[in-house]
Amino acid sequence: MAKMKAIEAAAKILELEGVTKAFGVPGAAINPFYAALRGLGSINHVLARHVEGASHMAEGYTRSNPGNIGVCIGTSGPAGTDMITGLYSASADSIPILCITGQAPRARMHKEDFQAVDIESIAKPVCKWAVTVMEPAQLPGTFQQAFHIMRSGRPGPVLIDMPFDVQMAEIEFDADAYQPLTPYKPAATRIQVEKALTMLNDADKPLLVSGGGVINANADALLTEFAELVSVPVIPTLMGWGTIPDDHELMAGMCGLQTSHRYGNANLLASDFVLGIGNRWANRHTGSVDVYTKGRKFVHVDIEPTQIGRVFGPDLGIVSDAGAALELFVAVAREWKAAGKLKDRSAWVAECQERKRTLQRKTHYDNVPVKPQRVYEEMNKAFGRDTTYVSTIGLSQIAAAQFLHVYKARNWINCGQAGPLGWTIPAALGVVAAEPGRQVVALSGDYDFQFMIEELAVGAQFKLPYIHVLVNNSYLGLIRQAQRGFDMDFCVQLSFENINAPELGEYGVDHKAVVEGLGCKAIRVFKPEDIAPAFEEAKQLMAQHSVPVVVEVILERVTNISMGVEIDAVNEFEELAEKGADAPTAISLLD
């Protein structure tokens, strides 16, 4: 057995568990770990400008490809508390990330030592597991257990807190004998799948709802195959967007109060049966349970037993990993199809397709200042099927879900439930770090962009190029729209006359100057006809300099994006498309 510092064993386990990249900010209490990483030499480190930024980079890294687990590192005290938002957003979306923090020596943890905080207790509500390791010999087992927990059942984040003296102590550790633990993933049984398929087959107008669990299970191909076998249209959730291509004949649109399509809501409301796989019936998807469930039966497949019945009781619940369930659904569906047992769904599919063809929102506006809908139209033209979009929250994200197109799993990377402002820049950097050369386009409103703008320097320093579309209306747009119900426009204006940038008028912050000061490139656009040339220039600048390139589009100050309080009562504040020219990049043409 080899004798080594406990922290050297921990670093080696990261390597043995497949970690090749980490994001973080060093500090005194975590320096032993950084020394171990330096000695190991196999894990590339990206230095963030803020520890919260590092946690979101780890999220982007995990979300980018199957099997990835992002790692973020910080020192004691505020580094751990800075990570809490990242842990929350990862937990909410079932994303495994490993947060590692340093801690004061054990003997001084209870003595109000400098930067000593009980981060284990603080982090527990937003983690699958949070632990402060009090015995050096437990450190290898703790790291082994962390990866087992992150990969088992419903995925999620873990925090490991390590006192300084625990890191420095010597222990026995045999790296050659180390083996990752086999994750636990529940699997559906044949009788469960046959019961669910019988209910689907008995229905007249069934739908599949495909959630983020399908993406976590890397089961998008199985989802599409199953939908094709039974000829049942698919409603992806926001977290499941891309599990079936937007232009597939069975893609029936997204449903919800905000991030939804008109035809998605209409198709859901016309259905009489829903099979949900790997989804959690989020309230932005369902609206009120009464409206969402009225007149239809439900089967819910989820990896987490306590998720079944959390929002409403289904007619049948199946605890299973989405991939394991879909393998069995495909196998049984093939048998039933060969035996001629499956219904002909052509009339129902045609009905859903007709809604998709006709229920479109208008995007083609020539207004100056630019209307946001036109930005998404130009994005659809400029960026191809392989583009990965990264966004988090706000009117920009809601409109993106209504107007952009996604064709592959993991090509829409979005913080779905938590929605923290500032998430987009670091998450996009994490995606690029995971797969250099990937075409990544991030999307932010001006406030999201300003929250963690300093992380753009990371993209410049570490050559992590991507395009960031910044739609600037100098407003907290989503909150302003929500305040309409209170008959106010209060504390949501970001506008002011910048004495250093009079050309901006009342649009306040000179993002172009800040972006360039951080080592990146920026282009500002005032007219709709200049958006497409700006995107082409951004591609060239990104290729030439290998840094993030920001395209800022100055929008009209006030636009109300379609949303409502129920899926059958979405307010359409803007014009609807009546002909193809109104929505020239719509996924299905009106003409």
Identified catalytic residue from 14, 19, 25, 551 = 25
CATH 3.40.50.1220 domain locations along the chain:
190-359
Could you tell me the two tokens for 90?
Answer: 């990862």
Determine the Cα–Cα distance for residues 364 and 23; give it in Å rounded to an integer: 41
pLDDT at 417: 82
Mean pLDDT of the chain: 94
Sequence-distant (6+) residues with CB within 8 A of 89 are 56, 59, 95, 415, 417, 418, 419, 420, 423
Q: How many other CB atoms are there within 10 angstroms of residue 447's CB atom? A: 23
Peptide bond preceding 369: is omega within 30 degrees of 0, i.e. cis? Answer: yes
Determine the Cα–Cα distance for residues 55 and 357; give it in Å rounded to an integer: 41
Residues of the chain with pLDDT under 70: 1, 477, 591
pLDDT at 527: 96
CATH classification (class only), 372-561: alpha beta
197 belongs to the catalytic site: no
479 belongs to the catalytic site: yes
**Closest listed residue to residue 195, CA positions, set 117, 49, 300:** 300
CATH 3.40.50.970 domain locations along the chain:
2-177, 372-561
pLDDT at 114: 73
Identified catalytic residue from 14, 413, 453, 476 = 476
Q: What SS3 class is residue 562? A: coil
Identified catalytic residue from 13, 14, 51, 319 = 51
Sequence-distant (6+) residues with CB within 8 A of 354 are none
CB 410 within 8 A of CB 242: yes
Nearest 10 degrees: CA dihedral of 560, 562, 565, 568? 150
Show the CA angle centred on residue 476, arms to residues 472 and 482, nearest 5°: 130
Write the Ramachandran bin of 251: left for phi over 0, alpha for psi from -120 to 50, otherwise beta. Answer: beta
**Closest listed residue to residue 333, CA positions, set 192, 194, 186:** 194
476 belongs to the catalytic site: yes
CB 202 within 8 A of CB 144: no
CA–chain centroid gap for 425, Å, is: 13
Identified catalytic residue from 330, 421, 431, 551 = 421
CATH classification (class only), 2-177: alpha beta
10 Å CB burial of residue 471 (0-12, 13-18, 19+) is buried
Residue type, 512: K
CATH architecture of 190-359: 3-Layer(aba) Sandwich (3.40)
Overall pTM surpassing 0.85 (yes/no)? yes
Determine the Cα–Cα distance for residues 585 and 117; give it in Å rounded to an integer: 52
45-78 b/e with 16+ CB inside 10 Å = b?
bbebbbbbbbbbbbbbbbbbeeebbbbbbbbbbe
**Closest listed residue to residue 194, CA positions, set 344, 306, 331, 297:** 331
Which strands form 44-47's sheet, in the order they lie side by side?
A: 44-47, 21-24, 70-74, 97-103, 158-163, 129-132
Taking the chain, what is the end-to-end CA distance rounded to the nearest angstrom?
73
**Closest listed residue to residue 329, CA positions, set 153, 208, 183:** 208
- The length of the chain, given as a count of residues: 591
pLDDT at 389: 97
Determine the Cα–Cα distance for residues 468 and 413; give it in Å rounded to an integer: 14
HEC states along 365-426?
CCCCCECHHHHHHHHHHHCCCCCEEEECCCHHHHHHHHHCCCCCCCCEEECCCCCCCCCHHH
- Which helix H or strand E contains 34, and what residues bound it? helix 31-40
DSSP annotation of 115 = T
Identified catalytic residue from 291, 311, 479, 514 = 479
pLDDT at 221: 96
235 belongs to the catalytic site: no
